[in-house]
Amino acid sequence: MGVAIGDIVPRHTTTLEALSGRIVALDAFNILYQFLASIRQEDGTPLMDFKSRPTGHLSGLFYRNARLIENGIRPVYVFDGAPPSFKQKEIERRQEAKKEAEAKWRDALDYGRMEDARKFAQATSRLTPEMVAEAKDLLSAMGIPWLDAPSEGEAQAAHMAKKGVAYASASQDYDSILFASPRLLRNLSITGKRKVPRQDRYVLVEPEEIVFEEVLSALQLNQEQIILIGLLCGTDFNKGVKGVGPKTALKIVKDHATLGKVKEYVKTKYNYEFEEDMDAIFDFFLNPPVKEVPQVKFSAPNAAGVNRILVEEHDFSDERVGRVLGSMEKAVKEKGAQKKMDLWF
């Protein structure tokens, strides 16, 4: 879900070309769920192989990362570790929401409402341990490094950006801002034209860059107050106050700048009491479990490994996979920063 503070956050559009030569730490689960939700058939059925196994996560990883690499971007994927105990309620809520979405998907199919069916189907996406393992195997075969975070992937990616190991973290969610990532990149995995739901028109989705210091300056807040806005709106760890959006939350935090004062205000104004774990959640954003990663090591793609995973195991087109691998190698060599591909990686 992530925190809904996008309406008050300044950002700049950028391009993949402008990010050439940069190491970007991507929130793996966030990216994989995007692929699983978006790479579907017209009726919402997931993309599957000849054994009826979902392959949207592999298709998205392969083709999107190929494009990033062709543009000189060096991705590193950060996978979630153990979730904090206070996330359990949100995990259970999401599971129930998926069940409800599945029922609505079936109903929409029965009545021939294909656009509704696809929308509900997207909300049913599940990422299994087997799919995560497949994703890691494919990344390794492509020469793309990955790591498991101690806890939240976004927190670890933000930490890597703070330490200069990565230029930025990348996710569709805004939680990275609460974790004080110096830069957050959005839309790296969904760039291009996208159809507006229920309308016969398309919009251009471009990569965005959000700079943490610019957010603080524009809103005249510090990190702790940014976290308070997130808690008021709702995060992956708490529900938020009903009826309070980012603009209202900003006004509340301007007038009540500490967690204690915010608690008192919403109890009086909205008759709302935050979760018992609120102090722990607040501290989690300030001091999340992370590990030090001095550097990330890239390697040349293993064409045989990629073919084994995609073509032999999951029935991808041999010709298309080979063509994309060839384009990756050619693009890397043409960058000219290094003369040999293995040195570039």
Q: Is the pLDDT of residue 334 over 90?
A: no
Count how many residues are written for the chain.
345
Provide mean pLDDT across the span 53-58: 94
pLDDT for 135 equals 98
The pTM of the full predicted model, rounded to 2 decimals, is 0.91
- What's domain 221-289's architecture? Orthogonal Bundle (1.10)
9-51 pLDDT, tens digit each: 999 999 999 999 999 999 999 999 999 988 888 888 888 999 9
Distance CA 328, CA 326 (A): 5
pLDDT for 1 equals 52
Average pLDDT, the chain: 91
Pick from 20, 72, 62, 36: which is nearest to 324 by CA? 62
Pick from 159, 188, 156, 192: which is nearest to 171 by CA? 188
Which two structure tokens, joined as six digits, stand for 172?
């569709």
Provide mean pLDDT across the span 233-252: 94
Neighbours of 329 (CB within 10 A): 16
Bridge partners (DSSP) listed for residue 46: 40
Per-residue burial over 38-73, b if 16 or more Cβ lie within 10 Å, else e, is bbbeeebebbeeeeebbbbbbbbbbebbbbbbbbbb
Bridge partners (DSSP) listed for residue 26: 77, 170
pLDDT for 345 equals 44
Q: What is the 3-state secondary structure (H, E, C) of the chain?
A: CCCCCHHHCCCEECCCHHHCCCEEEEEHHHHHHHHHHHCECCCCCECECCCCCECHHHHHHHHHHHHHHHCCCEEEEEECCCCCHHHHHHHHHHHHHHHHHHHHHHHHHHCCCHHHHHHHHHCCCCCCHHHHHHHHHHHHHCCCCEEECCCCHHHHHHHHHHCCCCCEEECCCCHHHHCCCCEEEECCCCCEEEECCCCCCEEEECCEEEEHHHHHHHHCCCHHHHHHHHHHHCCCCCCCCCCCCHHHHHHHHHHCCCHHHHHHHHHHHCCCCCCCCHHHHHHHHHCCCCCCCCCCCCCCCCHHHHHHHHHHCCCCCHHHHHHHHHHHHHHHHHHCCCCCHHHHC
Residues 6+ apart with CB under 8 A from 237: 84, 86, 87, 90, 277, 281, 284
Q: Is the pLDDT of residue 336 over 60?
A: no
Lowest mean pLDDT among 141-145, 172-176, 190-194: 190-194
Reported confidence tier of residue 3, pLDDT bands at 50, 70, 90: low
Residues 6+ apart with CB under 8 A from 256: 262, 264, 265
pLDDT above 70 coverage of the chain, percent? 93
Reported confidence tier of residue 152, pLDDT bands at 50, 70, 90: very high
Lowest mean pLDDT among 10-24, 57-71, 158-172, 186-200: 186-200
Q: Dihedral of CA 137/140/142/145: which sign?
A: positive
The domain segmentation of the chain, as residue ranges, is 1-220, 221-289
pLDDT for 343 equals 40
pLDDT for 132 equals 97
Distance CA 176, CA 153 (A): 10
Q: Which residue has the higher pLDDT, 294 or 201?
A: 294
182-232 pLDDT, tens digit each: 999 999 877 677 766 666 677 888 999 999 999 999 999 999 999 999 999
Distance CA 22, CA 188 (A): 13
Q: Is the pLDDT of residue 337 over 50?
A: no
- Is residue 18 exposed (0-12), middle (13-18) or buried (19+ Cβ within 10 Å)? middle
* CATH of span 1-220: 3.40.50.1010
Provide mean pLDDT across the span 308-328: 96
pLDDT for 196 equals 66
**Domain pair 1-220 / 221-289, same fold:** no
